[in-house]
Amino acid sequence: MSQTPKQSAERPVPTSADVARLAGVSRATVSYVLNNTSAVRISEPTRRRVREAAEELGYVPHAAARSLRAGHTRMVLLPTAHVSVSPLYNRFFNELQWALRRLDYTVVQYGSLGLEGDEAARAWAELRPVAVVSLGEVALTSQGVDLLKRSGAKAVITLGPERVEGAHSLVMDQREIGGCAATHLIGRGCRNIGVVMPEEPGRKLFSQPRLVGATEAATRTGARIEPLSLAYDEASAGALAARWRQLGLDAVYAYNDEYAMLLMRALQDAGIEVPRETAVVGADDLLLGRLLRPRLSTVQIDLVTGQRLAELVDRVVRDPGAEPERHDLMVTRAVHRESS
Amino acid sequence: MSQTPKQSAERPVPTSADVARLAGVSRATVSYVLNNTSAVRISEPTRRRVREAAEELGYVPHAAARSLRAGHTRMVLLPTAHVSVSPLYNRFFNELQWALRRLDYTVVQYGSLGLEGDEAARAWAELRPVAVVSLGEVALTSQGVDLLKRSGAKAVITLGPERVEGAHSLVMDQREIGGCAATHLIGRGCRNIGVVMPEEPGRKLFSQPRLVGATEAATRTGARIEPLSLAYDEASAGALAARWRQLGLDAVYAYNDEYAMLLMRALQDAGIEVPRETAVVGADDLLLGRLLRPRLSTVQIDLVTGQRLAELVDRVVRDPGAEPERHDLMVTRAVHRESS
DNA sequence: TTGAAAGCGGTACCAT
DNA sequence: ATGGTACCGCTTTCAA
């Protein structure tokens, strides 16, 4: 503690060489002892000396140096572009991180701020992650995948609307959700269906394909789809409700339960009866949706659990050759309650 | 592309030496060119040759090697223990990551699964982060802080109920929230106040101090506090509501708006009038709370923005000597609506 | 203008 | 049972 002067502030980080010196052994021995290398026998007294020296110096191994030497990392890179798209998605994301940690991976969240496709891939590759799990927020091309693989990534997994060549693509098509909602409404006799498009920028990634899905379902049956811009605040919802009757809609799919709750309340406050005059359906099956009256109908989304995805990552890392099994990534189901 | 045989699958990652070889220059030159080192003049033809070689090989620099050599990283480590404590907190967390990215830091989220205090600090130190921002989910002792600093961390910042010696501690006391809610209810004449304690494990970190804060406020005025266990589902809320009248409570602070909405609905369904028979107050000031009838009273929490915290991190990294200015981290304010 | 070479902090092979 | 040493990929003097 107080052996050398002037060490408090600028004392350099101790290295294994320092430990070796203090213990009176070589760096090799330090490495053997501290890693419990089984292929080599170190006497108990030596072990103790090394351990004590390490302890005294507060030695902490340098992960980067180690993985440089090892030639690989245990880093899983999770690119993120959004702020937030939905509570469900957030939960999934957190779960995934947890599960990966449990499997002893280091999770690095990489915000690909303003980077496009292959540029982003390049930036990620610099970290030499053992796996990349792209949740579809940054478009990854097959060249990007190739680059990552060549830079050592054992697993490149994408979740998104379409397959990416070379990657293990888990197809998760947001269109299904819009389609499911529209089909439900059409089945209940609605012909003029509004589709809420959140004005918040991060949500476009999801809202756009959901609109497409709804439109596809509608055109098959001759129903009309009307996109409706809506910000997540009471004023915006009030304004939309005020001009509701001009729109001539008998139903609305409101992106998710949060927007649906907001809009439904505004409609009711404007004297529009739900579901008699206008049916409302959300998505995500939030608990809170069941608390309103009428209870909110919704599209329940069974996402693959973070746990399962983490297991897939681990499997692919261990055996990169194995073909990607098909996963039922997302199952959507309309839940009829009272608002539709 | 097709010069050497058998390279598709097992082609090793190209290094700067490979680029140098292909360009017919030394590794030094490659480094100069690719980093645009201004202290050295390289002829334009050489630059081009190097660039082309790098392009052709798909060369990507190795971040770990670089920072090993440089002796420091741009990594900010964010320890996380929870799954989710509140939407507000989630938002804050995301904002922080964004802002850090914008400042060109690499954000590493480290799930400190089952690691305690100094053990966790050691694990973090292995990554040699330039900064650690601990959101209070893992208790950090002054020794832990010391360890991190000795391993090169310029900034160790903690957000939590109490200061940590050696770190820049931003004090954010959850007790204030409980206190604010209780004071509000007491001010409205309530004397017997239930405090909801979520059964979900991750939330104890917040719920416990909030209960303490409510209790402190109550004892100052002779009011009674009654902790109430509640899971986030309708069955649990229904059960609690069913035995509500036995509890003899005239008010309840329900942890946050989500639990408050759930409980309020259950109380109403059980025939208990809100706020006449029982006042209800939540926390977080969620938009959704305004959609119920009566509108939910709440505790509004003004958290420091992720942006500001990121700026603080950056400032401390650049000038570690500077004393931590005091920040008004969290301002709480009771918002009276209709449920209390 | 360019190259040779020394290291950054570990690990593991090969001697002793 | 240990120590010497080469090497992982990159940066940066110092010389030429």
pLDDT in tens, B150-193: 999 999 999 887 888 888 888 888 999 999 999 999 999 999 99
Residues from chain A contacting residue B80 (CB–CB below 8 Å): 97
Residue B162 and residue B74 share a domain: yes
Spatial distance from the CA of B46 to the C1' of C13 (Å)? 39
* Residues ≥6 apart with Cβ < 8 Å to B130: B72, B73, B74, B75, B76, B105, B152, B153, B154, B155, B317
Render the burial of A280-296: b for 16+ CB within 10 Å, e for the rest: bbbbbbbebbbbbebeb
Q: Which of A202, A96, A108, A138 is nearest to B95 (CA)?
A: A202
Residue A44 and residue A156 share a domain: no
pLDDT in tens, B187-220: 999 999 999 999 998 888 889 999 999 999 999 9
Write the burial class of residue B339 (CB in 10 Å: 0-12 exposed, 13-18 middle, 19+ buried): buried
pLDDT confidence band for B7 (50 / 70 / 90)? very low
Residue A308 and residue A298 share a domain: no
pLDDT confidence band for A1 (50 / 70 / 90)? very low
Residue B120 and residue B43 share a domain: no
CATH of the domain at B25: 1.10.260.40
A7 belongs to a structural domain = no
C-alpha span between A301 and A307 (Å, rounded): 17
- Count of the separate structural domains present in chain A: 3
pLDDT confidence band for B109 (50 / 70 / 90)? confident
Write the burial class of residue A71 (CB in 10 Å: 0-12 exposed, 13-18 middle, 19+ buried): exposed
Query: Which protein residue lies nearest to nucleotide C3, measured between its Cα and the C1' atom?
Result: B26
A10 belongs to a structural domain = no
Answer yes or no: do A109 and B97 touch at CB < 8 A: yes
* Residues ≥6 apart with Cβ < 8 Å to B174: B161, B206, B209, B210, B213
- The nt closest to A29 (CA vs C1′) is D2
Residue B2's pLDDT is: 33
pLDDT in tens, B258-302: 999 999 999 999 999 999 999 999 999 999 999 999 999 999 998
Residue A265 and residue A180 share a domain: yes
Q: Tokens for A27, please give them.
A: 């760096």
CATH of the domain at A262: 3.40.50.2300
Helix H or strand E encompassing B251: strand B251-253
Residue A155 and residue A106 share a domain: yes
pTM of the model: 0.86
A126 belongs to a structural domain = yes
Residue A322 pLDDT exceeds 50:
yes
Residue B309 and residue B296 share a domain: no
pLDDT in tens, A93-152: 888 988 999 999 999 988 777 777 888 999 999 999 999 999 877 788 999 999 999 999
Minimal Cα–Cα distance from B60 to chain A, Å?
6
Residue A183 and residue A250 share a domain: yes
Residue B38's pLDDT is: 87
A338 belongs to a structural domain = no
Query: Which protein residue lies nearest to nucleotide D3, measured between its Cα and the C1' atom?
Result: A26
User: Which of A34, A59, A94, A337 best tests the B interface by mutation, with the highest count of B CBs <10 A?
Assistant: A94
Q: Which of A124, A64, A128, A106 is nearest to B68 (CA)?
A: A64
Residue B6's pLDDT is: 32
pLDDT confidence band for B222 (50 / 70 / 90)? very high
CA within 13 Å, CB half, B184: 27
A337 belongs to a structural domain = no
Residue A271 and residue A188 share a domain: yes
Residue A335 pLDDT exceeds 90:
yes
Per DSSP, the three-state class of B128 is coil
B7 versus A250: the higher-pLDDT residue is A250
B9 belongs to a structural domain = no
Q: Which of B245, B239, B258 is nearest to B296 (CA)?
A: B258
Among the candidates A61, A89, A114, a domain finishes at: A61
CB atoms inside a 10 Å sphere around CB A23:
22
Answer yes or no: do A64 and B60 touch at CB < 8 A: no
B338 belongs to a structural domain = no
Radius of gyration for chain A, computed over Cα atoms and rounded to the nearest angstrom: 27
Residue A228's pLDDT is: 98
Residue B124 and residue B159 share a domain: yes
C-alpha span between A296 and A283 (Å, rounded): 9
> Is the preceding peptide bond at B12 cis, omega within 30 degrees of 0?
no
Minimal Cα–Cα distance from B293 to chain A, Å?
9
Which residues neighbour strand C (beta carbon < 7 Å)? A 12-13, 15-17, 27-28, 30-32, 34-35, 37, 39-40, 59-62, 65-66, 68-70; B 24-29, 32, 40-43, 45-46, 65, 68-69, 71
Residue B3 pLDDT exceeds 50:
no
Residue B276's pLDDT is: 96
Answer yes or no: do A63 and B127 touch at CB < 8 A: yes
C-alpha span between B62 and A34 (Å, rounded): 26
Q: Tokens for B297, please give them.
A: 């009273």
Q: Tokens for B69, please give them.
A: 């050599």
Nearest chain A residue (CA) to B65? A68
Residue B85's pLDDT is: 66
Answer yes or no: do B108 and A113 touch at CB < 8 A: no
Spatial distance from the CA of B28 to the C1' of C5 (Å)? 11
Residue A200 and residue A103 share a domain: no
C-alpha span between A169 and A162 (Å, rounded): 7
Residue A160 and residue A89 share a domain: yes
Eight-state DSSP code of residue B156: E
pLDDT in tens, A255-280: 999 999 999 999 999 999 999 999 99
Torsion over CA: A238, A242, A246, A251 (sign): positive
- The nt closest to B151 (CA vs C1′) is C9
A340 belongs to a structural domain = no
Domain that holds residue A237: 175-302
Mean pLDDT within A210-239: 97
